[in-house]
């Protein structure tokens, strides 16, 4: 009787375990993590791009996910990327969001809006130390855009209201 009870118990255990098992084909692979956005914790990591001397025009847009005008002008920079695809131009969107928001809030915005431009997060909170190195008149208000090619530089406070405004600003520096 002990043998048949043990056999019945083992058989019941086997059935219980096998019923909960899902077929291997039904398993879905875990989603791949989004590629991380580069985070510059100190301005010195971003600074070298301000001094490049070559045949490329650089457009650095300083923005944040909490800045409504920044988000409203973002499509203009995406359009610029498409329109200048065959030109020597580099567009860098420099988010000033906090470091803890880089892989969440910033990454979600980039994905949701399908941003194709290069994005970095610059989380050096000592603004008074570095904003003057971008432009002497800048005190940190967003959005702000630096457009330069070699020694020719233009700096803009506030959002570009239209793509045409941004295009004119870039074209003036490219000449």
- In this prediction, residue 35 carries a pLDDT of 57
Q: What is the mean pLDDT of residues 43-48?
A: 96
Beta strands in 85-143 (DSSP E): 89-95, 118-122
**CA pair distance 67, 53, nearest whole angstrom:** 31
Q: What is the mean pLDDT of residues 99-123?
A: 96
What does pTM read for this prediction? 0.80
- Kindly list the structural domains of the chain, giving each domain's residue range(s) and its CATH number in brackets, ordered by start: 39-174 (3.40.30.10)
Higher pLDDT, 172 or 7: 172
Q: What is the mean pLDDT of the chain?
A: 86
CA distances to 66, 98, 112, 113, 123 from 101, in Å: 11, 5, 15, 17, 10
Higher pLDDT, 54 or 23: 54
- pLDDT tens-digit map of 77-107: 999 999 999 999 999 999 999 999 999 999 9
- In this prediction, residue 5 carries a pLDDT of 37
């Amino acid at each position: 009787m002990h043998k048949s009870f043990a056999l019945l118990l083992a058989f019941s255990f086997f059935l219980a375990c096998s019923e909960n098992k899902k077929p291997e084909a039904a398993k879905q692979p875990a989603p791949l993590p989004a590629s991380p956005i580069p985070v510059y914790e100190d301005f010195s990591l971003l600074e070298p791009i301000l001094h490049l001397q070559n045949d490329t025009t650089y457009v650095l847009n300083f923005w944040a996910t909490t800045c409504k005008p920044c988000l409203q002008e973002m499509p203009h920079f995406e359009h610029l990327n498409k329109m200048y695809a065959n030109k020597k131009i580099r567009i860098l969107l420099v988010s000033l969001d906090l470091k803890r928001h880089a892989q969440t809030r910033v990454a979600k915005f980039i994905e949701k809006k399908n941003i194709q431009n290069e994005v970095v997060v610059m989380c050096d909170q000592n603004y008074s130390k570095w904003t003057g190195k971008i432009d002497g008149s800048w005190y940190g208000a967003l959005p702000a855009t630096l457009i330069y090619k070699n020694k020719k530089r233009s700096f803009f406070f506030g959002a570009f209201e239209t793509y045409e405004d941004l295009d004119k600003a870039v074209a003036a520096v490219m000449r």
